[in-house]
């Protein structure tokens, strides 16, 4: 130590502006890296729990902080056993006397005799067999649930403390293999890290709007003492989201104003021929949408329009109109679908319509053999292929359009801004986004900012709403009986196989297996075909043709029939294990029937109600109650939280978790004002970057 001294550090300007690495961390400085740690870093999370968490998008420690509770438990009274009244929800504090278990079908029922000073009651749990070992006689437990004629049905319990059974305990989106208890327990570990989430709002802005600190908001969200506290927390987090969203939109809008497009002249003979080739007249909504996009195409700013309408509302006809506008001008048009299967289905539809007009349609997907792929790419590059249908492979770098003028992006929630802007490089094409998952206009305007919206609200022809029934699987034979009766009357049907999370290959195998089973049993007397994502285009085309020609009575299918299949005589659909499907997906599936004048039926078969998650029950109820896509979209908002709505993904901005649009109109306005007033993005820049880059990477995976 002698003679040597640590070098004196001279301040280099203001503290913090360019602090050297060596300075000690100030106490309470946020450490975001702790939230970036993999979720396995938490106690009680091994590889298997981590995998289950990963399946619902919880991968990093911080993800737990940002998961919004679906709701909070109601406050309920604490009761002595002798005071339990009717079937009111209550909390009891009791001691276990004895415990036993039994099975009823697939349901495992655990029963404990529990007592307090005033009496004894039989408490029951469903499907938690491992709990038996922990409910030793003499154990103190706190139970929340309802008294019924058999005893006390437990909804949550605490063996220690009162976290689970507390009033306003958060209720997270649990799944079959991820219990509410686990989700709550993990939360208690991460709440201590709430400060590591940082505070990106400038203090003046935050206090100006009377918003709490972000860390406090997170704690309030996950451990509120009352609903108003939870709401204050949510409100603050929603503000951040909206602010970041507005900043991101400002960036992309600025980029768009720097591009320009070639205007197209008015529609001419080809479009007239197209109209007269259609076997029907366009609905007023379709006419209006066409008028709107004709307006866009005549301008030198690129079209940036969303065409939304329910399943079966006739979007394809309008989309093809837009594509043909480019073709008529001798320029190129592309239709992009999110998956290979969808691209192929679109190709078949478009090809059929274009055949009559003498227009060649090219298909480009990555399943083409290398030689064919190259050949199509060359046609695209030389400008000889005018109308191209494909997946997002279309905008990969090696695909080089000579003169791309109009692009239609179907189901574009699976495409990000990045891909759109990749398309828009150089001379920007006119872009029409098309979605069958309608989103409320307010949401569309929020997430897209400056996007124009055309809506098809009235369905073509006078179709009867599909009758939907929810049938538990013990009674599945009823569904098949009804199916058989309708088939004998000459109708056709779809049977949709369960959505198991497996590869396309094993899903295909399962569908084939199910087809064999149905051929041998329920559907012996009928012609049954099987479509899945592993069929080659020619095979699928052949099957569909045979189904259309009534040579097949039933199509057993994976979700590949979700979009694009159009057979008016198919009036029944059975969806197996319907509880596994999302609401939007069920709605899409149901859209395959009810396309003609006959009454159609959709039969949703699921496991028994009491084995389903709360949100699965809500989804199936919603399907039975309404056929209206907008209504279902709103329900989906409620069930899943706004952010996970497919619609929100549509912009690529998938992160709206806390915003409740109907409730947050004023907040939206404030966030817009704040975004305009901010001189620079400051600490929010990182979050804006992340949002924009998430959006850019969507669909690349
Ligand atoms: P979407 O893509 O919106 O689900 P489609 O464009 O596939 O709907 O149209 C659904 C069905 O309605 C198709 O069979 C289509 O030919 C038919 N269709 C479209 N427009 C009309 C119309 N104006 N009148 C009658 N049928 C129509
Ligand atoms: Mg369609």
pLDDT digits (tens, 9 = 90+) for 285-316: 999 999 999 999 999 888 888 898 887 788 99
Distances (CA, A) of 349 to 236, 270, 309, 544, 565: 47, 18, 18, 12, 9
Q: Tell me if 606 sits within 8 A of 579, measured CB to CB.
A: yes
Q: Tell me if 165 sits within 8 A of 89, measured CB to CB.
A: no
Spatial distance between the Cα atoms of 338 and 345, rounded to a whole number of angstroms:
12
Work out the average pLDDT over 374-395.
Answer: 88
612 or 19: which leads in pLDDT:
612
Does residue 392 register a pLDDT over 60?
yes
Q: Give the nearest ligand 1 atom to 591 CA.
A: 4
Closest by CA position to 559, among listed 616, 605, 622, 507: 507
Work out the average pLDDT over 461-469.
Answer: 84
Ligand 1 contact via 278 beta carbon (within 6 Å)? no
* Whole-number average pLDDT of the chain: 84
Ligand 1 contact via 467 beta carbon (within 6 Å)? no
572 or 687: which leads in pLDDT:
572
Distances (CA, A) of 83 to 75, 80, 92, 94: 17, 5, 10, 13
Q: Tell me: the pLDDT tens digits for 248-291? A: 878 877 777 777 888 999 999 999 999 999 988 999 999 999 99
In 258-369, which ranges are continuous DSSP H helix? Answer: 269-277, 284-297, 315-328, 340-355
Ligand 1 contact via 565 beta carbon (within 6 Å)? no
Work out the average pLDDT over 610-629.
Answer: 89
- Residue 142 backbone phi and psi in degrees, to 5: -115, 120
Distance 567 CA to ligand 1 centre (A): 11
Ligand 2 is an ion; residues with CB less than 5 A from it: 316
Would you put residue 86 in left (φ > 0), alpha (ψ -120 to 50) or beta? left
Work out the average pLDDT over 465-489.
Answer: 92
pLDDT at site 677: 87
152 three-state secondary structure: strand
What tokens does 668 get?
A: 């939206």
- Mutate-to-test residue for ligand 1 from 278, 286, 312, 314, highest number of ligand atoms within 8 A of CB: 314
Q: Tell me: the pLDDT tens digits for 677-697? A: 887 888 888 888 877 766 554
Q: Tell me if 306 sits within 8 A of 415, measured CB to CB.
A: no
Which ligand is the nearest neighbour of the Cα of 592?
Answer: 1
Distance 395 CA to ligand 1 centre (A): 28
Which ligand is the nearest neighbour of the Cα of 436?
Answer: 1
179 three-state secondary structure: coil
Residue whose CA is at the smallest distance from ligand 1 atom 24: 460
Highest mean pLDDT among 485-489, 587-591, 697-701: 485-489
- Mutate-to-test residue for ligand 1 from 289, 317, 437, 597, highest number of ligand atoms within 8 A of CB: 317
Ligand 1 contact via 314 beta carbon (within 6 Å)? yes
Which ligand is the nearest neighbour of the Cα of 319?
Answer: 1
pLDDT at site 363: 93
Q: Tell me if 691 sits within 8 A of 416, measured CB to CB.
A: no
Which ligand is the nearest neighbour of the Cα of 587?
Answer: 1
Lowest mean pLDDT: which of 3-7, 456-460, 666-670? Answer: 3-7
pLDDT at site 646: 37
């Amino acid at each position: 130590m002698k003679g040597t001294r640590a070098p004196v550090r001279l301040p280099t300007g203001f503290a913090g502006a360019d602090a050297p690495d060596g300075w000690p961390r100030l106490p309470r400085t946020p450490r975001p890296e702790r939230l970036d740690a993999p979720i396995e870093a938490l106690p009680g999370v091994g590889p298997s729990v981590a995998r289950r968490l990963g399946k619902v998008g919880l991968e990093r420690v911080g993800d737990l902080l940002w998961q919004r509770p679906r709701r909070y438990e109601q406050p309920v009274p604490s009761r002595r056993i002798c005071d339990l009244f009717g079937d009111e929800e209550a909390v009891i504090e009791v001691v276990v006397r004895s415990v036993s278990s039994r099975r009823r079908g697939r349901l495992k029922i655990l029963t404990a005799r529990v007592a307090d000073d005033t009496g004894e009651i039989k408490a029951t749990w469903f499907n938690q067999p491992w709990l038996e070992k922990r409910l030793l006689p003499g154990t103190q437990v706190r139970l929340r649930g309802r008294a019924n004629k058999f005893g006390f049905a437990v909804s949550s319990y605490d063996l220690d403390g009162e976290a689970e059974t507390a009033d306003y305990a958060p209720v997270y989106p649990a799944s079959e293999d991820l219990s509410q208890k686990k989700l709550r327990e993990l939360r208690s570990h991460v709440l201590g890290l709430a400060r590591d989430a940082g505070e990106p709002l400038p203090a003046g802005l935050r206090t100006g709007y009377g918003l709490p600190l972000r860390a406090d908001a997170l704690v309030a969200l996950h451990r509120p003492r009352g609903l108003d506290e939870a709401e204050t927390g949510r409100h603050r987090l929603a503000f951040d989201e909206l602010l970041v969203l507005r900043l991101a939109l400002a960036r992309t809008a600025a980029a768009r104003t720097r591009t320009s497009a070639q205007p197209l002249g008015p529609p001419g003979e080809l479009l007239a021929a197209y109209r007269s080739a259609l076997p029907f007249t366009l609905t007023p909504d379709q006419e209006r949408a066409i008028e709107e996009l004709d307006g866009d195409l005549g301008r030198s700013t690129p079209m940036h329009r969303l065409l939304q309408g329910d399943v079966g509302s006739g979007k394809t006809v309008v989309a093809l109109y837009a594509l043909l506008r480019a073709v008529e001008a001798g320029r190129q048009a592309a239709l992009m679908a999110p998956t290979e299967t969808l691209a192929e289905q679109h190709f078949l539809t478009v090809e059929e319509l274009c055949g009559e007009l003498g227009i060649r349609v090219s298909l480009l997907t990555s399943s083409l053999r290398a030689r064919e792929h190259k050949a199509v790419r060359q046609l695209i590059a030389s400008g000889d292929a005018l109308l191209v249908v494909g997946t997002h492979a279309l905008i990969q770098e090696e695909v080089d359009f000579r003169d791309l003028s109009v692009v239609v992006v179907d189901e574009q929630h699976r495409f990000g801004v990045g891909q759109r802007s990749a398309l828009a490089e150089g001379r920007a094409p006119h872009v029409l986004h098309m979605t069958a998952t309608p989103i409320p206009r307010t949401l569309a305007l929020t997430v897209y900012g400056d996007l124009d919206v055309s809506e098809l609200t009235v369905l073509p022809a006078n179709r009867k709403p599909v009758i939907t029934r929810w049938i538990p699987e013990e009674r599945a034979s009823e569904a098949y009986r009804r199916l058989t009766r309708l088939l004998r009357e000459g109708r056709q049907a779809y049977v949709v196989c369960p959505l198991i999370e497996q590869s396309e290959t094993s899903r295909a195998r399962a569908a084939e297996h199910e087809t064999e089973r149905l051929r041998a049993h329920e559907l012996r007397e009928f012609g049954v075909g099987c479509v899945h994502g592993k069929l080659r285009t020619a095979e699928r085309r052949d099957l569909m043709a045979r189904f259309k020609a009534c040579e097949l009575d039933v199509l057993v299918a994976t979700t590949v029939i979700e979009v694009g299949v159009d057979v008016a005589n198919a009036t029944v659909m059975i969806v197996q294990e319907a509880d596994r499907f999302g609401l939007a997906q069920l709605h899409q599936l149901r859209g395959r029937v009810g396309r003609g004048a006959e009454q159609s039926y959709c039969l949703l078969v699921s496991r028994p109600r009491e084995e389903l998650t709360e949100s699965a029950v809500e989804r199936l109820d919603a399907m039975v109650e309404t056929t209206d896509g907008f209504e279902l979209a709103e329900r989906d908002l409620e069930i899943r939280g706004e952010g996970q709505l497919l619609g929100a993904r549509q912009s690529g901005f998938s992160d709206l978790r806390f915003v409740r649009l109907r409730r947050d109109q004023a907040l939206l306005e404030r966030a817009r004002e704040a975004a305009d007033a901010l001189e620079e993005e400051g600490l929010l820049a990182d979050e804006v970057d992340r949002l924009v880059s998430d959006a850019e990477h969507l669909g690349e995976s």
